Amino acid sequence: MSRVRTAVWVVGAGLLGTELARMWRVGGVQVLTIDKCVEARVRGDAAERETLAEAAAILPVPDIIYVCVSTRGGSVADYRRVYRDTTEALLRAQPQARVIFCSTTGLYPDTAGEEVTEETPCEAGNEKDLILLETERLIVAAGGIVARLAALYGVGRCELFRRHISGEPRLGGSAERVFNYVYVGDAARALFLLADPELRGGSIWNVCGESVTKHDMYAMLERISKIQASEESSPDGVRRGAKNHRISAKKMRDIGWSPRMCMEHFVEVELIENEKNARV
């Protein structure tokens, strides 16, 4: 990093936000977390002026603000409040900060497994997608950074693994459908690198650790777990997560980032932990 950071806000204290805050603190940087959950230093809605005023009283003038919020599903109104309204409030309250917004690679179109890059035009399949794209435009126009993340997984959070060991139907799509994943620790390291002030603002970056076909992913799960995958598949839907494309993260790799975790190793570790817990 070309300049020492002195203050970082992390809006959203979930799996990714918590890991990101830990990473900055290890480096000796002051970090303030903002969220409605009890784990956050400032508990409240980051779209509210009062919440941001409380944060500024504790740790004023942040160099970096990460927006790692999630609706966990949610309605169109939830999307508007959590993503767009929060971003607008942060840009008004802290115009000097570089805002790094966590978006999703699910905004890219279905390309039948072909590669997509940051230059690939996104598509809005519904009003929620429109809100995310609008929020991305606000960030880019303000000179911030958009990080489009592939499906995130970590300890206690891996839908693919959970469904497999529970015997639930496979994820939908053909055998050649491509799954794109990134481990939470790898995603946090990518976001850490994107705080470098020498990186051009107003830019978009894909963060993806690996891209694997559905056939190969389930073959790996069966081989390691010794559990036969369900013969059933979930019905195809119109969700962003049901799309079929291969995410290129070459741009991130060009600045020195590379994933340290792969799904295969993660599954091996999770199975060992499950077995330990079962014996307790």
Residues contacting 269, CB < 8 A, separation 6+ = none
Instruction: Kindly report the number of other CB atoms within 10 A of residue 268's CB atom.
Output: 14
Specify the pLDDT at position 280: 58
Cα separation, 204 vs 207, in Å, equals 10
Please state the rounded mean pLDDT for residues 247-269.
97
Specify the pLDDT at position 240: 46
Cα separation, 144 vs 81, in Å, equals 19
Q: How confident is the model at residue 273 (pLDDT cuts 50, 70, 90)?
A: confident
Q: How confident is the model at residue 236 (pLDDT cuts 50, 70, 90)?
A: low
Please state the rounded mean pLDDT for residues 125-134.
96
Phi, psi (rounded to 5 degrees) for 216: -70, -35
* Average pLDDT along the chain: 93
Reported as a single tens digit per residue, the pLDDT across 145-178 is 999 999 999 998 899 999 999 999 999 889 999 9
In order of their start, the domains of the chain are 7-154+181-211+247-260 (3.40.50.720)
pTM of the prediction? 0.94
List, as one string, the DSSP characters of 196-209: -TTSPSSEEEEE-S
Reported as a single tens digit per residue, the pLDDT across 33-54 is 999 987 899 999 999 999 999 9
Question: Could you give the C-alpha distances from 203 to 133, 137, 181, 247, in angstroms and in order?
Answer: 13, 10, 22, 17
Reported as a single tens digit per residue, the pLDDT across 56-74 is 999 999 999 999 999 888 8
Question: Could you give the C-alpha distances from 149 to 41, 68, 101, 104, 206, in angstroms and in order?
Answer: 25, 11, 10, 5, 6
Question: Could you give the C-alpha distances from 99 to 114, 143, 145, 195, 278, in angstroms and in order?
Answer: 31, 8, 6, 9, 43
Q: How confident is the model at residue 274 (pLDDT cuts 50, 70, 90)?
A: confident
Q: Is 32 left (phi over 0), alpha (psi -120 to 50) or beta?
A: beta
256: tokens are 């020195």
Q: How confident is the model at residue 238 (pLDDT cuts 50, 70, 90)?
A: very low
185 three-class SS: helix
Specify the pLDDT at position 156: 84
Rg for the chain, CA atoms, rounded: 19
Specify the pLDDT at position 5: 65
Cα separation, 199 vs 268, in Å, equals 36
Is the pLDDT at 104 greater than 70? The verdict is: yes
Tokens 């000796």 -> residue: 28
User: End-to-end CA distance of the chain, in Å?
Assistant: 44
